């Protein structure tokens, strides 16, 4: 009989239940959309933040020790270098897929014809690499300095320009000071050689780089006499915000227990990625750029907090909606409920009947809402991050628990009303 009653209300009074299902679907869709985005937003935000530069720098161990001991600001001057032929190994570490970009840097001091001393920085622009793993990678400052604003000309394209080795990009301030611009030629004389370069672009970096000249790595190496060596490597990696374990490991990985070490090593903390880079680059010290890493963590936390708040608000809204609709439904069905009580139904039986109806409706609405929410998540992913949001399995039980909780909480006032309802009040109009 119980099932007949449930069937009766769901099939013969489906219009009444439809609005409740719709409200639950709305709440569930927002919850599942926000949760899907929230659980996937870490990688997405990290990826977005990678456009604002490197978060790990790799320097020679000797430079690191000296700069720590004597607080030497410019560690490039100590005469220690990294090996250029080891650069590809960075993409062979355990967290290779999290390394989204990297570029080597060589600094060379040069003099112009008029005697002006300038700082020349050699790097990759969009360097194409065949990795030992067979993977191919394009890396360099073109993507790692994406915030540079091009004032004149174009980026130095080392793959398209035949004479890229003779090209250079110059900072806005230096260009103004020297009175040069795009397509002008400059003659540089370095410690170990000289070259004639054509300015292909003028950039505005908004910092000290505006006083520098960027050239290809080979060109700078030739000027400085540092064939096959680099001063520094900047790495852009997707990282997990640090926690206590990561901080402890960053200070001294040997202080970790075997289990802790395994957890740390197999988690994409900036410190564990640094550690793994040090393992493949000879005599190197890799360190996270704290400001960037911390900002990423802070932005990620705030974004997730915002998502949680939106989820909570949407669920409160759904609970209020359910509360109103279920209360209205109980009021509308007060004569039916009064009759059931009059013919012998205890409060528990009637409550069970109504809760079952509501829960079946919640399951239908929740399921529809979950899929709709996942659709919303894709729209958010495509619109905001330009990529799809992956379905995290844990979203399903979380949304299920939330739907049940919200439905239950939303039904409490109606159930209280139901238990207080006296048959005499509704059957005789008193």
Partner 1 sequence: MSLLELKNVYKIYGDLHALDDVSLKVEKGEWVSIMGPSGSGKSTMMNIIGCMDKPSKGEVLLDGVDISKESKKNLTTIRRDKIGLIFQQFHLVNYLTALENVMLAQYYHSMPDEKEALEALERVGLADRAKHLPSQLSGGEQQRVCVARALINYPEIILADEPTGNLDEANEEIVVDLFHKLHTEGTTLIVVTHDPEVAEVAQRTLVLRSGKLSKEVVNENFTGKIHFDS
Which residues are at the interface with partner 1 (CB under 8 A)?
Answer: 1-2, 4-5, 8-9, 12-13, 335-336, 338-346, 349, 422-424, 427-428, 430
Residue showing tokens 């300095």: 145
Q: Which residues pair with 214 in a beta bridge?
A: 121, 169
Cβ 422 to partner 1 shortest distance, Å: 7
Cβ 424 to partner 1 shortest distance, Å: 5
Instruction: Give the burial class of 364: count Cβ atoms within 10 A of its Cβ; 0-12 exposed, 13-18 middle, 19 or more buried.
Output: middle
Contact 221, 122 (CB under 8 A): yes
Give Cα 59 to chain centroid, integer Å: 26
Cβ 336 to partner 1 shortest distance, Å: 5
Question: How many Å apart are CA 15 and CA 84, to the nearest integer?
Answer: 71
Complex with partner 1: residue 255 or 349, whichever CB lies closer:
349
Complex with partner 1: residue 44 or 341, whichever CB lies closer:
341
Cβ 426 to partner 1 shortest distance, Å: 9
Query: What is the SS3 assignment for 153?
Result: strand
Cβ 3 to partner 1 shortest distance, Å: 11
Question: How many Å apart are CA 322 and CA 19, to the nearest integer?
Answer: 9
Cβ 430 to partner 1 shortest distance, Å: 7
Cβ 348 to partner 1 shortest distance, Å: 10
Complex with partner 1: residue 346 or 387, whichever CB lies closer:
346
DSSP 240: B
Complex with partner 1: residue 2 or 147, whichever CB lies closer:
2
Question: How many Å apart are CA 40 and CA 291, to the nearest integer?
Answer: 23
Cβ 398 to partner 1 shortest distance, Å: 34
User: What is the DSSP track for 88-135?
Assistant: GGGGGSTTGGGEEEEEEEEEEEEEETTS-EEEEEEE-SSEEEE-TTS-
Question: How many Å apart are CA 7 and CA 13, to the nearest integer?
Answer: 9
Residues constituting the chain:
430
Contact 113, 250 (CB under 8 A): no
User: Beta 117-123 vs 212-216: how paired, if at all?
Assistant: parallel
């Amino acid at each position: 009989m119980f099932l007949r009653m449930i069937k009766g209300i769901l099939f013969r009074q489906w219009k009444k239940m439809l609005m409740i299902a719709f409200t639950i679907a709305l709440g569930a869709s927002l919850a599942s959309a926000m949760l899907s985005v929230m659980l996937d937003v870490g990688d997405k935000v990290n990826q977005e933040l990678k456009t604002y530069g490197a978060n790990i720098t790799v320097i020679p161990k000797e430079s690191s020790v000296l700069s720590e001991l004597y607080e030497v600001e410019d560690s490039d001057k100590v005469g220690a270098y990294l090996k250029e032929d080891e650069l590809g190994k960075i993409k062979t570490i355990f967290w290779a897929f999290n390394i989204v970009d990297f570029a080597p840097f060589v600094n060379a001091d040069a003099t112009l014809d008029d005697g002006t001393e300038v700082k020349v920085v050699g790097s990759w622009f969009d360097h194409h690499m065949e990795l030992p793993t067979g993977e191919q990678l394009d890396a360099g400052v073109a993507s790692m300095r994406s915030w540079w604003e091009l004032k004149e000309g174009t980026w130095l394209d080392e793959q398209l320009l035949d004479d890229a080795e003779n090209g250079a990009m110059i900072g806005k301030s230096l260009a103004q000071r020297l009175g040069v611009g795009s397509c002008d030629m400059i003659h540089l004389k370095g410690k170990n050689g000289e070259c004639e370069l054509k300015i292909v672009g003028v950039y505005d970096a908004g910092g000290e780089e505006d006083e520098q000249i960027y050239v290809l790595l080979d060109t700078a190496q030739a000027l400085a006499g540092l064939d096959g060596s680099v001063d520094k490597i900047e790495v852009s990696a997707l990282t997990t915000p640090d926690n206590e374990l990561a901080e402890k490991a960053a200070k001294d990985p040997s202080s970790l227990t075997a289990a802790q070490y395994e957890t740390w090593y197999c988690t994409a903390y900036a410190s564990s990625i640094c550690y793994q880079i040090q393992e493949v680059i000879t005599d190197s010290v890799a360190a996270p750029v704290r400001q960037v890493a911390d900002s990423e963590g802070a932005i990620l936390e705030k974004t997730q907090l915002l998502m949680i708040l939106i989820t909570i608000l949407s669920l409160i809204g759904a609970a209020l909606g359910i509360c109103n609709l279920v209360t209205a439904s109980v009021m509308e069905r007060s004569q039916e409920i009064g009759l059931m009580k009059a013919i012998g139904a205890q409060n528990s039986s009637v409550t069970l009947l109504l809760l079952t109806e509501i829960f079946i409706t919640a399951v239908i609405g929740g399921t529809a809402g979950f899929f709709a929410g996942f659709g919303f998540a894709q729209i958010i992913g495509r619109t905001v991050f330009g990529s799809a949001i992956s379905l995290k399995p844990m979203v399903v039980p979380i949304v299920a628990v939330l739907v049940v909780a919200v439905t239950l909480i939303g039904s409490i006032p109606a159930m209280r009303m139901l238990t207080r309802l006296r048959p005499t009040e509704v059957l005789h109009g008193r």
